[in-house]
Amino acid sequence: MKYYADCEFDGFEGPLLSLALIREDNEAIYIVYEHNEAAHPWVTENVLPIMWSIPSPIPGMAYSVNSDLEASLLLEEYFRGDIAPLVITDWPDDIAYICKALITGPDRMITLPSIRFEVVRRIDAYPTELKNAVQHNAYWDAQALRVLLS
């Protein structure tokens, strides 16, 4: 199955703030890390205030997590049953952050038979026709990517 992904992070190579994956059937997971203090002023102004600007309820699950392990276990459950997920994003950093989220400890990762990644050309997803969409929000950016590429 295809999954469309986006991440928000605190500047170049900064800590992950939020991660969204939306399957082609629109089932989503949205994870927000509680350490959401930002050092980068642009992130503080443009990302943090809208972290929870998502539909209520979303078609899937939204979680607030306190640890990388907690996020990893949520992703393991989300991917359960899919033997060959394909994660599509328009930026390589998103893949790096997702791969890091799959790791549960030294020499350990979530149970996942396989996973593939694809980076498509950089997509300007806005303006979008998605009702109430908010730019620079991982959930909405992944949703816009899904709509544009489906």
Q: Find tokens 């020499």 and name the residue.
A: 107
Q: Order of strands, edge to edge, in the sheet holding 60-65?
A: 60-65, 28-33, 16-23, 2-9, 86-89, 116-119
Q: If you average pLDDT over every residue of the chain, what do you get? A: 91
CA distance 104 to 27: 24
The pLDDT value given to residue 36: 65
The reported pLDDT for the residue numbered 125 is 61
Q: How many CB atoms lie within 10 A of CB 48?
A: 17
Which residues in the chain land under pLDDT 70? 36, 124-127
Please provide residue 135's backbone torsions phi and psi, each rounded to the nearest 5 degrees.
-70, 150
What pLDDT does 139 receive? 94
Q: Are 25 and 114 in contact (CB under 8 A)?
A: no
Question: What's residue 13's pLDDT?
Answer: 86
Q: How far is CA 61 from CA 50, 79, 112, in A?
A: 17, 13, 20
